Amino acid sequence: MGRHCRRGAGVVTQVRVLTGRSLRTAFADPRLVFFGLLQPVVMLLLFSQVFDAVGALPALHAYDGYVNYLLPATLVNIALTTAVGTGVGALGEIYSGFAARLRALPVHPLSPLVARTLAAATRLSAQLLVATLAAVPLLGFRPAGVTGLVAALAVTVVLGWAASWLFLALATGQGKPETLQAVSFVVMFPLMFGSSAYLPVEAMPAWLRVFSTANPVTYAVDAARALALGRPAAGPVAAALGTAALMAVVGGYAAARNVRRSRGQQ
């Protein structure tokens, strides 16, 4: 990394080198790789059994099995969990001094942030693929077609990438890892369970139905579900991608402002 930076490499090269470093660090320990890929499979198995009785609701009969309704929601859940991990990883680099060392080199302030989100999106893609492939033989998941399923995975990766910017904004605000994790739990838990992820909106109490309808996680889950199961997807996909764009812009702006402010204080 140092050799490239001392030469005054361009932003694209900086992002490429830093992304490669993040990926090498993530895949350096085979045990971490194994358990990182196993985690979404365990999550899917657990939720499919715990909420299996929900599949008896009349609103879910059209899905031909609760796992078909559940899997797209689990993919979104994995994406959000990965986004939280992106922020925690950024805080780790801040506390380890790596971020400070980068500031001493001719590295663009946004290059490490972009690289971290790209590395997170790559790891997320692997996790989503493993979870989906495992769901077919283990739980009987049946997508409508390969094209729709690939599109659902792509939308979910975009969502995870965009959400990573929000948590990078929190991390670069000089928060503590404990604070970031606490905030993540308080925010993500009601958003996930107050969405259409595990229960149809029409089956919820009236007050929760209002919250779920406006919940951005519902947009993402509905988009992934519609694409994977061959249902009308134009509206849900537009809403999901619009929400993702908003998260990326707001999170990216806040993260960039935090980084520039921290450099100006040195």
Q: What is the residue-level pLDDT of the chain in tens, covering all 266 positions?
A: 444 444 556 888 889 999 998 888 878 878 878 887 888 888 888 888 887 777 788 888 888 888 899 999 999 999 998 998 888 888 887 777 777 777 767 788 788 899 999 999 999 999 999 999 988 888 889 999 999 999 999 999 999 999 999 999 988 886 677 777 788 888 888 888 899 999 888 888 899 999 999 999 999 999 999 999 999 999 999 999 999 999 999 999 999 998 888 765 55
Q: What is the pTM of this model?
A: 0.88
User: How many structural domains are present in the chain?
Assistant: 1
* Nearest one of 158, 217, 22, 177 to 84, comparing CA atoms: 177
**By residue range, what is the domain housing residue 199?**
2-264
Tokens 């078909």 label which residue? 68
Measured at the alpha carbon of residue 72, what is the angle toward residues 66 and 74, in degrees to the nearest 5? 90
Tokens 């283990």 label which residue? 138
* Nearest one of 251, 74, 70, 90 to 176, comparing CA atoms: 90
pLDDT given at position 163: 94
First to last CA, the chain: 22
Dihedral (Cα; 185, 189, 190, 195), 10-degree rounding: 150
* Residue 3 identity: R
Residues 45/166, Cβ–Cβ less than 8 Å: no
pLDDT given at position 32: 78
Residues 220/71, Cβ–Cβ less than 8 Å: no
